[in-house]
Chains A and B, each alone.
Chain A
């Protein structure tokens, strides 16, 4: 089947164009002051870098870090047991398990967020249906974090489940036969194997929750500014230079993530 290796070539070129060239444009833009993306009349400057230490940007970065870390930990604490329970139940029908986890993703993410923002208000459809008094958490940190967990949890469960499902049960039997109890078997055998799924899951939850801008805007009523919102604003205000610089910073972080993934999971098996 060696003949077909030519089929990969156009893809490498296509990815090269759509990944590398924008990176170069961003790099140039972040050192300049231009009008949009037209380089005519632009001038070379370090102004964008000095804006990095603006109070608003620092707050955005620390908020992003805070929300994304809490969301990731919560997703891990909920997602790992679920993945473990499903894998242990040895459901033959992998398709069905996937479907239960993917069905929520077919609903539009923004509509799911509006639905949440609706039930975070004291008077909503559910309370009206049940005839109870609701509580108001809209505009709080808790609301944003619940929204993020609800949106990104499947991205934690699926890679962990993929790894756990592939563990050969005879390894566990061997561990038990050699005198380890269930707890030790889990901690010494299962957990280390599943770490590559955890790594993928953490990255797939951490990055979007740190850089997304719709959920904090809708559930936080604009009280909490995350870095994604700052980037969106700079592009909306035609300040492509500062936006590019912030994007580059995120890209550097993502490069680190890519390196980790390429170390623990060479063939990208856990990313689905």
Chain B
């Protein structure tokens, strides 16, 4: 119904208006180029302006955030040097908390997520779709609902395990919401692999587990890697779920949230943020360049073997 109406509407616009405008091909191209560049520019500004501001502030000599007082690296120094006058012990503690939770959650969810994806992939189609739907719940669910759900179940467990609120609960929560991302990135790669490869490995005397590790895991490596990256991205940035499951433990998001309207943020936190972004970017680039180089070699070998094959004919 709606589709039909909007269809008619767009046809109308197209027939009555767009067709009437007679433009040379060149003018059309120029207009398309301008519109395209404008959209790219707007999106780029919207996405990257906050990061630009964070980076400038991490280098800003003035402590107040209202003016620019020249370049400095003292905020970066304060991150690593305890004797620096700007050293903020509570901030460094929260940074430590954030990194520990993120690293453990990323590693655990990558390992479990991969095996779970292999399990889901070998289910029958109907069962698989149901499990995938279950898997998608934490991704689609509003963070606030996930956070409250986990808080409720942890509170219900409190009489059995007193004092779990804090590091343990936050870690469990992070593992809970990062596993689905790993599962979803590994599944499509699993679909692509030829199950004969696995059967061949078993026929040639591999144990199922060895075949899994030696044959399946290497062929889904890129999926595992991107799942790991997503898990890391989601975990290090998380606020709402951590907020409800943290108890008195705090990560960087909770720390920032607790300063709203109370005190101004020390620029050291901007320095930390810039370093994390840069660090992740460098890791990603290194991985990408390496895989690019590898692909190039493989492509070269393929074309060579093709040309050899042609020669044979």
A residues near B (Cβ < 8 Å) are: 1-12, 15-19, 21-23, 25-26, 29, 36-37, 78-79, 81-82, 85, 93, 95-96, 98-99, 101-116, 118-119, 121, 123-126, 128-129, 146, 149-150, 153-154, 157, 183, 187, 203-204, 207-208, 210-214, 217-218, 228, 231-232, 235, 240, 243-244, 247, 250-251, 254, 257-258, 261-262, 266-269, 271-272
Chain A residues with Cβ below 8 Å from B160 are none
| Residues A247 and B188 in contact in the complex (CB < 8 Å), given A125-B68, A154-B47, A183-B14 | no
B56 at the binding interface (Cβ < 8 Å): yes
Residues of A within 8 A of B252 (CB): 108
A160 to B237, CA, bound (A): 23
User: In the complex the two chains form, what is the Cα distance from A269 to B96 in whole Å?
Assistant: 35
Q: Which residues of A lie under 8 Å from residue B7 when comparing CB positions?
A: 187
Q: Which residue on chain A has the smallest CB distance to residue B185?
A: A272
- What residues on B are CB-neighbors of A157 within 8 Å? 43
Task: Please measure, in the bound complex, the distance between the C-alpha atom of A15 and the C-alpha atom of B185, giving whole angstroms.
Answer: 18
A5-B119, A25-B152 known; A125 vs B60 contact (CB < 8 Å): yes
Q: Are A107 and B273 in contact, CB atoms less than 8 angstroms apart?
A: yes
Proximity bits, B128-156, A CB within 8 Å = 1, else 0: 11011111111111111100111111011
Interchain CB contact under 8 A, B39 and A81 = yes
Beta-carbon nearest neighbor of A23 in chain B: B149
Q: Cβ of B122 < 8 Å from any Cβ of A?
A: yes
- Nearest-neighbour CB distance to chain B for A163, whole angstroms, equals 13
Task: Decide: A106 and B236 in contact? CB cutoff 8 A.
Answer: yes
A205 CA to B278 CA in the complex, in Å? 26
B260 part of interface (Cβ distance < 8 Å): yes
List of B residues within 8 angstroms of A213 by Cβ: 144, 240
Q: Across the A-B interface, give the 7 residue pairs with the lowest CB-CB distance, nearest first.
A: A7-B119, A8-B119, A22-B149, A112-B50, A115-B53, A211-B142, A128-B67
Instruction: Please give the residue numbers on chain B whose beta carbons come within 8 Å of chain A beta carbons, in ascending order.
Output: 7, 10, 14, 18, 36, 39-40, 42-43, 46-51, 53-54, 56-57, 60, 65-68, 112, 115-116, 118-123, 128-129, 131-145, 148-153, 155-156, 176, 179, 181, 184-185, 187-188, 195, 198, 208, 212, 216, 226, 229-230, 233, 236-237, 239-240, 244, 252-253, 256-257, 260, 265, 269-270, 273, 276-277, 280-281, 284, 288, 291-292
Given A115-B57, A128-B66, verify A99-B288 contact (CB < 8 Å): yes
Contact residues in B for A10 (Cβ distance below 8 Å): 116
B129 contacts A110, C-beta separation under 8 Å: no
Known: A11-B119, A271-B184. 17 other contacts (CB 8 A): A3-B122, A3-B208, A7-B118, A8-B131, A11-B179, A19-B138, A25-B152, A93-B288, A93-B292, A107-B237, A110-B239, A114-B265, A116-B53, A153-B47, A207-B141, A210-B142, A271-B136
Chain A, residue nearest B177 (CB): A18
B39 and A125 contact, CB distance less than 8 A: no
Residues of the A chain whose Cβ atoms lie less than 8 Å from the Cβ of B185: 272
Whether A235 pairs with B244 at a CB distance below 8 angstroms is yes
Q: List 15 A-B contacts (CB under 8 A).
A: A4-B119, A5-B123, A7-B120, A8-B120, A29-B152, A104-B48, A105-B237, A106-B277, A106-B280, A124-B53, A183-B14, A211-B143, A213-B144, A247-B144, A269-B188
Nearest Cβ on chain A to B291's Cβ, whole angstroms: 8
- B143 engages A12 (CB within 8 Å): no
Looking at the complex, which one of A106, A218, A269 makes contact with B233 (CB distance below 8 Å)? A106
Does B149 contact A211, Cβ atoms closer than 8 Å?
no
Contact B256 A110 (CB under 8 A): yes
A211–B292 touching, CB < 8 Å: no
Contact among A104, A118, A235, A258 with B136 in the assembled complex (CB-CB below 8 Å) = A258
* A249 to B223 Cα, complex, angstroms: 36
The answer to whether A111 and B269 have CB atoms under 8 Å apart is yes
Tell me the bound Cα distance from A150 to B47 in angstroms. 5
B144's contact among A7, A121, A211, by CB below 8 Å, is which? A211
Docked pose: A253 CA to B163 CA in angstroms: 34
| Contact B284 A99, beta carbon cutoff 8 Å | yes
Residue of B whose beta carbon sits closest to that of A3: B208
- Bound CA–CA A212/B150 (angstroms): 17
Bound together, the chains give a CA A141 to CA B143 distance in angstroms of 22
Residue from B129, B144, B155 with most neighbouring chain A CB atoms (10 Å): B144
A154: B residues at CB distance < 8 A = 47
**A257 with B54, Cβ < 8 A, contacts A111-B269, A183-B18, A262-B129 known:** no
* Inter-chain contact B145/A19, CB cutoff 8 Å: no
CA distance A11 to B143 in the complex (A): 20
A213 to chain B, nearest CB (A): 7
Inter-chain contact A107/B149, CB cutoff 8 Å: no
Q: How far is the CA of A166 from the CA of B283 in the complex (A)?
A: 27
Nearest CB in chain B to that of A109: its residue: B237
B153 with A25: CB separation less than 8 A: yes
**Min CB–CB distance B278 → chain A (angstroms):** 9
Given contacts A78-B46, A81-B39, A129-B56, contact A7 B116 (CB under 8 A): yes
A19 touches B144 (CB 8 A): no
